[in-house]
Chain A
Amino acid sequence: MKKELLAMILAGGQGSRLGCLTREVAKPAVPFGSRYRIIDFTLSNCTNSGIDTVGVLTQYQPLALNTYVGNGHPWDLDRSNGGAFILPPYQHMAGSDWYTNTANAIYQNIRFIDNFNPSYVLVLSGDHVYKMRYSSMLEEHLSSGADTTIAVYEVPWDEASRFGIMNADEDGRIVEFEEKPAKPKSNLASMGIYLFNWPLLRRALIEDEADETSDHDFGKNIIPKLLGEGHKLMTYRFSGYWKDVGTIRSLWESNMDILDRPDDIDLRDKSWRIYSRNPVKPAHYIAPGARVRGSALTDGCQIFGDVEHSVLSHSVIVEKGATVRDSVLMPGVIVREGARLEKVIVGMGTVIGRDAVIGGRSDTSNPYHESRLCADNITLIDGGLTLRDGSVVPGNAMVHNDVDVKGAESVIVDTEPVPAL
């Protein structure tokens, strides 16, 4: 059956700047904001915009993501006609190819898209936190008569050189695209959200694939190619909350935004719900003597200690005398009696031993010190670990199994696989 608009979500990236959090899980499946995974925002935007056919392109560590998306039921994408499709790379007569880049990934799924014979294809990333009405974007696309519409976001001028920048005329028509320009002429950054007329994109993908000098990337190759051919590319300005959760710092910040800027991301908006797949757990319990302030909690948590300015996912237990401050605890984390956490991100299912002290000031001599990925005294603890009672891990550290801790005692006493859900 013909679909007017079909969405393709690029969800195969590793997200290597999230360090150990994405060792076993693709970035879109990383838990976020107490109840969600990052990809929930994109999937819910699709559903809320009336898009009922969504391809999710997976490649890197797909187990958690595949399990999570499943048949698309939580997002109302379990359809007889359309629905959610997981699209991994595949084998064919001539061999097999990984998805080498964004445009190549869509190219390899031309047959999937052709099945629905769509007029328009929306290409999305699975790792941004934002709420966008794609149907409004389509309306603008139709009324401007564009061949391609690209969502743009106004970034501060001093940060513009970190983004792909769209130089547009006063009508919003794109005249030039510059990837990370040293001297930006505009501060309109591409959000990596592209709306194409399918016949045009289809041809461009095939031609780009045949071009051996191309990197098969949307920003680097497809968009300049379409511009060069003289097609009408328009910007679609977006001004709401938008965050690319690419680094440990931005992951921590955007979690804290739920507490500090609740009206910006507004998760309580009933007209634009963010849907998610969650195991069925009881309401959360706050014990006598516990203290919970300025925090977000969800089903299955049991709090006996002190929680302040933190974001807790389902089934987190904070025992008596433990304190958790400015932290992000992912599903199933247990903080044992007397432990103290400050500005820590803890991965799924990890147990923090009794009286452990995690986070705080940076200590460059600590074996877990990680200057490349951690910043702002944020500490990252991998999922599936059990940390020794009384262990001390300072700020800017990343604790995971691959660290060689010669001369010092490892704080890890046990490791289990990170659960997929």
Chain B
Amino acid sequence: MLRNCCGLIVADDRRIQLGELSRPRALSAMPFGGRYRIIDFALSNMVNSGIRTIGVSTYNKYQSLMDHIGTGSDWDLDRKTQGLYLLPPFINSESYGMTGPTDDLSGVINLFRDLKQKYIVILSSNVLMNADFTELDTFHHDRNADITVMYNRDGAKGGPPNTILDMTRLGRIKGVYENPLNPVSNRSSMGVVFMERELFVQILGDAISRGESNIDIDYLLKQYDRLRVYGFEFKGTVLRINSTQDYFKETMRVLSEPERSDIFWPERPVFTKVKDEAPAIYSDSCVVEDSLISDGCLIQGAVHHSMLFRGVTVSGQARLTNCVVFQDSHISEGCELENVIIDKDCIIRPGIKLIGQAAYPVVIGKGSVV
């Protein structure tokens, strides 16, 4: 367990847009895995690693994120001392109404300057895994590192943003490349960084004085020429959500083993906001195979290789194959859907046919009636 460590979750990433899906919400508030939001993995990994003070930095569309994390009670982060801090852009009377980039950093530096923990873990929100950061701490001390970054070997296949690390044999970083045309290695940063809190505050202060206004985890890694920056390889399942296609592909991946067990079923549970739905009800005529189904669903049709979030209804004679259906959407009778992502609160009217491609799913935006 990390006993002397605080955390920062960078809850959104300007480089990543999921089109229709990210229109109403920040990246970290994206629903994932049937009953979670993306940020649940970051928060749970931190809490399961012993971190009790967590800042969540976000720059826009954070209403659904605030809605979801609330006081942090679902992660036991509603503490009198320590707990959860939401860090929206810093706006004061001088900056109000000014155009130009928002100031994401001032709020972050104000919080972390005053904390007492010696170390900090920083997470980006587009990479999902189920990890214990204690190993990171051990590695960090073994190497006598200033900064340690977690990576895996996804480098060759990943679309942008993809931060490739060039490393010595001992794991020290000697080069950092963003979206290179010809990657020097397949080591790709997972956006997970461990370091001393004071060093973080110092680098952040530096960045502010250079006119930076956004949090950029790569900015920390690029200190490799003056600090001892090391890479730590993570061997478990890693899901990267950089685009709508990625989102669809990674969702389909967690339906099968070993990804399903790796992400959802280790000793470390993934915590999320509790919704008191009824149990899922399967009718006498339904056919469900190879799918993850959440509470509150009512299934009368056929569901194959799909993921249904809470409160989804699938009427009789409807057929879903390779579909992802968000909370409270309704699929009417006789619909035929294949390779479709349906956002929250949609109604698909009787007999509608929607066929996407595995590499290019059809996306139905939040609240649509088709």
Contact = CB atoms under 8 A, between A and B. Distances in A.
Nearest to A286: B288
A379 B278 CA distance: 26
Given A74-B274, A268-B298, A299-B35, A284 B281 contact: no
A280 interface: yes
A35 B295 contact: yes
Contacts of B296: 268
B298 A292 contact: no
A40 to B, nearest CB: 9
Contacts of B307: 283
Contacts of B278: 35, 267-268, 274
B360 interface: no
A283 B260 contact: no
A289 interface: yes
Interface stretch (B87-95, B226-234, B265-273, B343-351): B265-273
Nearest to B34: A283
Most buried by A among B34, B260, B276, B295: B276
Contacts of B293: 283-286, 297
- Specify the main secondary structure of chain A where it touches its partner: loop
Contact of A33 (B272, B279, B280, B308): B279
Contact of B270 (A273, A280, A284, A293): A280
A290 B289 contact: yes
B282 A297 contact: yes
Nearest to A299: B295
A166 B283 CA distance: 40
B100 to A, nearest CB: 42
Given A288-B290, A299-B295, A282 B279 contact: no
Nearest to B304: A288
B33 A282 contact: yes
B282 A292 contact: yes
A274 B295 CA distance: 13
A28 to B, nearest CB: 18
Given A259-B281, A293-B283, A298 B276 contact: no
A278 B295 CA distance: 12
Nearest to A294: B284
A106 interface: no
Contact of A278 (B73, B274, B281, B288): B274
B291 to A, nearest CB: 5
Contact of B282 (A288, A289, A295): A295
A136 to B, nearest CB: 22
A34 interface: yes
Contact of A286 (B260, B277, B285, B291): B291
B292 interface: yes
A259 B286 CA distance: 14
B119 interface: no
A290 B294 CA distance: 17
B286 A34 contact: no
A34 B279 contact: yes
A74 B287 CA distance: 33
B69 to A, nearest CB: 14
Contacts of B309: 283
Contacts of B59: none
A287 interface: yes
Contact of B276 (A258, A276, A284, A294): A276
B269 A280 contact: yes
Contacts of A33: 279
A262 B272 contact: no
A283 B294 contact: yes
Contacts of B177: none
Nearest to B310: A283
Contact of B294 (A73, A258, A299): A299
A282 B265 contact: yes
A120 interface: no
Contacts of A311: 279
Contacts of A285: 260, 291-293
A321 to B, nearest CB: 16
Contacts of B74: 280
Nearest to A259: B281
A283 B274 contact: no
Interface string A295-334: 1111100000000000100000000000000000000000
Given A293-B286, A294-B282, A280 B271 contact: yes
Interface in B44-80: 73-74
Contacts of A287: 289-290
A311 B281 CA distance: 9
A282 B264 contact: yes
Contact of B281 (A275, A280, A288, A296): A296
A295 B270 CA distance: 26
Contact of A296 (B272, B279, B285, B289): B279
Given A286-B288, A288-B289, A298 B269 contact: no
B63 to A, nearest CB: 21
B114 to A, nearest CB: 28
Contacts of A290: 288-289
Contacts of A281: 269
Contacts of A292: 282, 286, 288
A95 to B, nearest CB: 39
B286 A297 contact: no
A311 B279 CA distance: 9
B97 to A, nearest CB: 39
A305 to B, nearest CB: 13
B2 to A, nearest CB: 21
Most buried by B among A34, A276, A293: A293
Contacts of A280: 74, 269-272, 274
Contacts of B283: 293-294
A105 to B, nearest CB: 29
A283 B292 contact: yes
Nearest to B283: A294
Contacts of A283: 33-35, 292-295, 307-309
A236 to B, nearest CB: 27
Interface string A116-149: 0000000000000000000000000000000000
A293 B282 contact: yes
A68 to B, nearest CB: 15
Contacts of B280: 284, 296-298
Contacts of A297: 279-280, 282, 293
Closest 9 CB pairs of A and B: A283-B34, A34-B279, A267-B278, A282-B264, A296-B279, A288-B290, A294-B284, A283-B294, A283-B292
Given A258-B281, A278-B274, 10 more contacts: A33-B279, A35-B295, A73-B73, A258-B279, A267-B278, A282-B265, A284-B293, A285-B293, A286-B288, A288-B290
9 contacts: A34-B279, A35-B277, A35-B295, A268-B296, A280-B274, A281-B269, A282-B33, A292-B282, A296-B279
Interface of B: 33-35, 73-74, 260, 264-265, 269-272, 274, 276-296, 298, 307-309
Interface of A: 33-35, 73-74, 258-259, 262, 267-268, 273-276, 278-299, 311
